[in-house]
Amino acid sequence: MRTKEKGRVTRATASGKHSLELIEAALCGDTSEARKLLLAGARIDVRDRDGFTPLMLAIAGRNQKMATYLIEQKADVNRRNKIGQTALMLAAQGGYKRLVEQLIQAGADVRAVDNDKRNAISWAATRGDFPEVISTLAMFNAKPDVRDVRGITPLIAASLMGHAKSVAVLLTLGADEKKKFRGKTAYQMAAEKGLTDVCQTMKAVLKNRPPAAAIGG
């Protein structure tokens, strides 16, 4: 009986060690090592101290090949880190359109929001000018007009960051340009910052957008 218990402890210890090594492999983008570790019993959805899984670490570390491999190995695409981010949000903020598509195909929840109520579109709009990522997410029913806990919408975020292409896509998708943050619309804030490209883009899109496209509220 003791021998059997000892064997269980040994296997559990080995599994834990391999799981920690998998985190390192994901960070380094070493798919060959990851393959060996998974075969040796590493837990594919092990988390680090911040709640990141190997899949999330691969995406955050720009290791798209590793991320694709982990998705193919059935990593949980809806796990969350400590601030509530999912793999999809991380892929969106990195501008990884192909990875966003792979995650959605694998069952990623496009309507998920983090602890501050930001969805994947919010992250894409904030971190870069990624119109194709935003379009892809919206095509799979992610809300383009969601407010975070501070009241900021993706349109407001993209406008403040000077992401004119993302602003154009969001408005085309029906984002409400009348929504305000601290009493000001996205256009007003962009104008105050001297973001001419954003202001011109908003005028051009709104001039040609059918009134029915606007989202209320």
Residue 33 within a domain: no
Residue 136 within a domain: yes
The answer to whether 155 and 145 have CB atoms below 8 angstroms apart is: yes
pLDDT tens, position by position, 90-146: 999 999 999 999 999 999 999 999 999 999 999 999 999 999 999 999 999 999 999
DSSP state of 121: H
Residue 153 within a domain: yes
Residue 65 within a domain: no
pLDDT tens, position by position, 58-105: 999 999 999 999 999 999 999 999 999 999 999 999 999 999 999 999
Residue 21 within a domain: no
Residue 151 within a domain: yes
Residue 3 within a domain: no
CA distances from 40 to 8, 61, 113, 126, 192 (A): 15, 24, 34, 40, 58
Number of domains in the chain: 1
- Other CB atoms within 10 Å distance of the CB of residue 15: 16
Q: What pLDDT, on the 0 to 100 scale, is given for residue 199?
A: 97
The answer to whether 119 and 111 have CB atoms below 8 angstroms apart is: yes
Q: From 194, 178, 175, 195, select the one nearest 186 (Cα to Cα).
A: 178
- Average pLDDT on 155-174 reads 96
Residue 144 belongs to what domain range? 113-217
Residue 149 within a domain: yes
Residue 123: CATH number of its domain: 1.25.40.20
Q: How many whole angstroms separate alpha carbon 86 and alpha carbon 183? A: 31
- Average pLDDT on 24-42 reads 93
